[in-house]
Amino acid sequence: MPILRHGLIRKQANRMFHIIKEVRDIKRLNEILIVLFEEGFEFLLARAGLKHYIPITKRLKSKIKKVEEIKPEVRLRRAFERLGPTFIKLGQVLSVRPDLVPKEYSKELEKLQDKVSEFSFEEVKEIIEKELGRSLHSIFTNFEKKPIASASISQVHKATLKTGETVAVKVQRPNARKIMETDTEIMHYFAKLLENNIDKLRKFRPARIVDEFKEWTEKELDFRLEARNAKRFYENFKASKTVHIPKVYGELTTEKVLVLEFIEGIELHNLKEIKRRRIDFNSIISSGFDAVFTQVFVHGIFHADPHPGNIIIMKNNVIAFVDFGIVGYFDEKLKNKNIDLLYGIVEQDEELVMETLISMGMESEGVNYEELKADIGFIIQPLQHSSIKEIKVSRVLEEILGLALKHSLKVPASFVLLGKTIVTLEGLAIEYDPKFKLVETAKPFIEKIVAKRKSPFYAWKSFAHNINRYRQFAEDFPEKAERALEKIERGSIKVDIEDTDIKKLSLEIDRSSNRVSYGLLVAALWITSAILYQVEKGPTVFGIPLLSFVSFIFASVFAFVLFISIIRENFRHW
């Protein structure tokens, strides 16, 4: 018996040593475990091997406490609210990522609001003066002590500069970084335990979710990044008559303090006030979607926090975007794929939607593409029997994101954020006007973008871009092929390709090789023409040496053939 007791003590000591090595704040870990236990997540704690850290008095009380029939997603939302700012922020992030958590959870977590107490004016004053190296009264003629907004990372005060301009001063909470780092450290430790011990949770990749959340919070904790984002948006929309971006006061911005132009207006979600003032909401929502699509498909950078409180209606129906802590990026490939996807939905083109999704880079090990195609078809096929006015884009996008979770697909985060933005805005529009149809609003913009892609200028840009890609491919191919062959010789490469994939790969290599050859030949002939122009003497054509002229003509013909080939292929995909 003493040996058994000694073994148990040693086992518990080893567990405690492991926890101390992974988590620095044991007191905070205990607080989190108790909240999760009280909200009914006893099973998860037991499977993660953490239940024995719950005080015995708590466990005894739970035995006699009546079990409440509350849905798990509601209990999770309540737990996050009790656990404070970091967990509320995590819940808000998950609410816009239905590709990472089940739909019912993301919907429930949308209810989370920053219920955070204000920190004192004395602390605000101390932080500002320390960060800017100047006294508060030397910067502002007026500074409202009561904040106009208070959130998990910061709070915002209204103030007036010495120049007379009204500004919003965003100040980071005292010790915000330390609190966030402590909580995310514990989250990651707990997520790894769940991932290692519960098979059903493994497909949700909780550790990856925490890692992504950590990246988000680190960006939001540096206000200089937000200032750079806001300046970029300001430049992109400075000529717009319908969109306004607040001015950034760079000389008054640091890691913990951000000073922006104060935006006076009504938050987009305040539908009651919008109706009271008889604002043309249809015009507003149309401008909102146009602004979002412009950010994504023209600028390639967009506001990635789709909370309607971050969109403000100003005078003359101008809309303003605020809070640029998190932004999404769309490169040319992702822009084109999303245009194809939205165009496929608008035109009810099932094949285009399926091809676009599968080619978007949403690959993952073990995905059954036949089942994926069948599921996509199940979503898209009903659209073919609907009129354009009956299509609800948000429903289609939500179902597509649900497929990503079902099939464990790696979805580009920017695509998900765009989808969530569209879902949020369409939901608000329908709440105001049940007859609102996003497809009718979006179709002109999408058709304009599609038409632009068919222009000669766009085709030339694509041609030039592809020539550079093929040149790089030709330069890198020998080295990459050598590395691949070495791996095959060592037996460290796994080959699992279907015959159809081999054929596609073979055709693609043939096509690429031909284009590389054409491109190199064109370049060689143009270079030869230029050299001969300088050195050749003899007969001329239009004042150009004969051989130089012939070389230039052949180069131009080959370039034209290659150009036409690329255009024809692009038209096949359009």
Higher pLDDT, 145 or 286: 145
- Report the C-alpha gap between 237 and 242 in whole angstroms: 9
Higher pLDDT, 477 or 230: 230
Contact (CB, 8 A) for 412 and 383:
no
Tokens of 131: 């960060």
Summarize the confidence of residues 109-118 as an average pLDDT: 77
Q: Which residues are annotated as catalytic?
A: 305
**Tell me, what DSSP letter sits at residue 134?**
S
Higher pLDDT, 45 or 398: 45
Tokens of 427: 């939901």
Check: pTM over 0.95? Answer yes or no: no
Q: The domain 116-181+195-262 belongs to what CATH superfamily?
A: Phosphorylase Kinase; domain 1 (3.30.200.20)
Domain ranges of the chain: 11-110+182-194, 116-181+195-262, 265-452, 456-573
- pLDDT tens digits, one per residue of 527-548: 776 666 666 566 766 667 766 7
- Report the C-alpha gap between 57 and 306 in whole angstroms: 44
pLDDT-based confidence at residue 17 (cuts at 50, 70, 90): very low
Residue 165 has pLDDT above 60, yes or no: yes
Residues, the chain: 574
- Report the C-alpha gap between 341 and 88 in whole angstroms: 33
- Report the C-alpha gap between 83 and 399 in whole angstroms: 31
Backbone angles phi and psi of 121, in degrees to 5: -65, -35
Strand order in the sheet with 266-267: 243-244, 319-321, 311-313, 266-267
